[in-house]
């Protein structure tokens, strides 16, 4: 029998965690033949709720689900884990920026990085979803010196998928026919959704949508989509966020599709002039369980200014949490 993969989820009883558990147990993350063990981590006040989630997982009788661990202990929850999806953190409310969560949520990710460093698989792949995701990933990475630094990533796949959805709606072309979309930078309102290389049904995007709509509608809509959902739902995005987390890890583990790429916030390495020290979203391809930043894309002045603005914000966030690094 195929060895099961261990998947740890923090905040597993929350909105996103609840979605993730069932999608992963049903095989959406690693495919229909890969057995999984879920290692669910919560804080004590949410433990009863987590027990309820475990009862529902049992009742769903998923063929691929080998075991479920439910715990408030990080060493138990991260033990030997192959993947860690760090969701547990406070969501923002109406009128807040994600960076407003920094001081409260930042403290969560140091201890989690340390525990991963001590007990997780030596090749654990980490995705941070809890906001502000990029800087929380940096904190976790800094606290896990024995793990490969490139295995710490943050989620901008939701922004990527939101961009595809906006382009599909505008052009009338199904989103599966849209290739080479890029989100640069921070998962925040400074992120830069770049369509200069994007092909919609094989055609250059700007020829179809025009510079005016791109600048005045598309970019702000994608940047502000999280806030629009909070306003409409009274709670931050959950099912779409869980779905994007699954897309991120699945593509990282199983590979991206042909000539297409995805957006992943990964440790900057100097590519495109973004110096090391921040977790920055780049266009990435994945194969053999490794991500690679797509190189050689042409960057015009319009893009350069926006890429630098989001980099600046990330460096300010970094400076604000220096004590946790
Ligand atoms: N990166 C993205 O694209 C994206 C998208 C949507 C939401 N988010 C963020 O994800 C996070 C979770 O959102 P949600 O809607 O699921 O929130 P939620 O409040 O429904 O759930 C969060 C859960 O985390 C738990 N938790 C809190 N601190 C914890 C800790 N130290 N260890 C383990 N668990 C802990 C809580 O008990 C709660 O059950 C928020 O920060 C939100 O802003 C990110
Ligand atoms: O916007 C938020 O605060 C939640 C999440 O990051 C999102 O993009 O939906």
Question: Each residue of 52-92: pLDDT tens digit?
Answer: 999 999 999 999 999 999 999 999 999 999 999 999 998 88
pLDDT of residue 1: 73
Identify which of 24, 16, 22, 10 has the alpha carbon closest to the alpha carbon of residue 236: 16
Query: Which residues are part of the catalytic machinery?
Result: 187
Identify which of 250, 76, 81 has the alpha carbon closest to the alpha carbon of residue 157: 250
Give the model confidence (pLDDT) of 301-311 as tens digits.
999 999 999 99
Classify strands 182-184 and 262-267 as parallel, antiparallel or unpaired: unpaired
Q: How confident is the model at residue 181 (pLDDT cuts 50, 70, 90)?
A: very high
CA atoms within 13 A on the CB side of 98: 25
Is there an atom of ligand 1 within 6 Å of 42 CB? yes
Asked whether residue 250 carries a pLDDT value surpassing 90, the answer given is yes
Is there an atom of ligand 1 within 6 Å of 132 CB? no
Is there an atom of ligand 1 within 6 Å of 265 CB? no
Q: Which positions ≥6 away from 237 have C-beta within 8 Å?
A: 158, 226, 229, 230
Interatomic CA distance for residues 12 and 242, integer angstroms: 11
Q: Mark out the alpha helices in 210-269 (DSSP H runs).
A: 211-213, 219-223, 225-233, 239-254
Minimum CA distance residue for ligand 2 atom 1: 226
Helix axes 239-254, 15-25, angle to 10 degrees: 40
- Structure-derived torsion over alpha carbons of residues 8, 109, 194, 213, reported in degrees to the nearest 10: 100
pLDDT of residue 252: 98
Which one of 1.20.140.10, 3.40.50.720, 3.40.190.10, 3.30.1360.120 gives the CATH number of domain 5-154? 3.40.50.720
Parts of the chain belonging to CATH 3.40.50.720: 5-154
The token pair that represents 66 in the structure block: 């080998």
pLDDT of residue 10: 98
Decide: residue 123, CB within 10 A, 0-12 exposed, 13-18 middle, 19+ buried: exposed
Identify which of 295, 282, 98 has the alpha carbon closest to the alpha carbon of residue 185: 282
pLDDT of residue 95: 82
Give the model confidence (pLDDT) of 13-47 as tens digits.
999 999 999 999 999 999 999 999 999 999 999 99
pLDDT of residue 105: 86
Interatomic CA distance for residues 310 and 186, integer angstroms: 6
Interatomic CA distance for residues 202 and 310, integer angstroms: 29
Inter-CA distances, 154 with 134, 141, 244, 249, 286, Å: 5, 11, 11, 11, 15
Interatomic CA distance for residues 105 and 293, integer angstroms: 28
The token pair that represents 123 in the structure block: 């090749």
Name the least confident of 83-92, 134-143, 150-159, 162-171.
Answer: 83-92
The alpha carbon of 11 and the centre of ligand 1 are apart by a number of angstroms equal to: 6
Q: Was 15 annotated as part of a binding site? A: yes
Pocket test residue of 91, 136, 232 for ligand 2, highest count of atoms within 8 A of CB: 91
pLDDT of residue 93: 79
At residue 66, the 3 state secondary structure works out as strand
Identify which of 203, 159, 214 has the alpha carbon closest to the alpha carbon of residue 178: 203
Q: Was 66 annotated as part of a binding site? A: no
Decide: residue 35, CB within 10 A, 0-12 exposed, 13-18 middle, 19+ buried: middle
Which one of 3.90.245.10, 3.40.50.720, 3.90.110.10, 3.40.50.300 gives the CATH number of domain 156-324? 3.90.110.10
Parts of the chain belonging to CATH 3.90.110.10: 156-324
pLDDT of residue 27: 98
pLDDT of residue 301: 98
Ligand nearest to C-alpha 109: 1
At residue 122, the 3 state secondary structure works out as coil
Beta strands in the chain (DSSP E): 5-10, 36-41, 65-71, 83-86, 125-128, 152-154, 178-179, 182-184, 192-194, 199-200, 203-204, 262-267, 279-287, 290-293
- 0.90 exceeded by pTM: yes
């Amino acid at each position: 029998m195929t060895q099961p993969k261990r998947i740890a989820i923090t905040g597993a009883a929350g909105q996103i965690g609840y979605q993730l558990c069932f999608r992963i147990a049903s095989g959406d993350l690693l495919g229909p033949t890969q057995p999984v063990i879920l290692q669910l981590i919560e804080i004590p006040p949410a433990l009863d709720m987590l027990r309820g989630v475990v009862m529902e997982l049992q009742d769903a009788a998923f063929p691929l689900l080998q075991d479920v661990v439910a715990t408030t202990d990080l060493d138990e929850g991260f033990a030997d884990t192959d993947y860690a999806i760090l969701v547990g953190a406070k969501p923002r409310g109406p009128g807040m920026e994600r960076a407003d969560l920094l001081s409260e949520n930042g403290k969560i990710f140091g201890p989690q990085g340390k525990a991963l460093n001590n007990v997780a698989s030596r090749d654990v792949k980490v995705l941070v979803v809890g906001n502000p995701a990029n800087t929380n990933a940096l904190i976790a990475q800094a606290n896990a010196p024995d793990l490969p630094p490139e295995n710490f990533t943050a989620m901008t796949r939701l922004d990527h998928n939101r961009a595809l959805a906006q382009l599909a709606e505008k052009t009338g072309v199904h989103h599966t026919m849209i290739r080479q979309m890029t989100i640069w930078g921070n998962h925040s309102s400074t992120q830069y959704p770049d369509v200069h290389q994007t092909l919609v049904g094989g055609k250059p995007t700007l020829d179809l949508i025009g510079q005016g709509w791109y600048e005045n509608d598309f970019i702000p809509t994608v940047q502000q989509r999280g806030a629009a959902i909070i306003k409409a739902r009274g709670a931050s995005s959950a099912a779409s966020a869980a779905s994007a987390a699954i897309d991120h890890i699945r593509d990282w583990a199983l590979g991206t599709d042909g000539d297409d790429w995805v957006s992943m916030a990964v440790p900057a390495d100097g590519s495109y002039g973004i110096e090391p020290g921040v977790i920055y979203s780049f266009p990435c391809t994945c194969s053999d369980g490794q991500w690679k930043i797509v190189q050689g894309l042409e960057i015009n002045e319009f893009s350069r200014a926006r890429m630098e603005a989001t980099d600046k914000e990330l460096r300010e966030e970094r400076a604000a949490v220096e004590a946790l690094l």
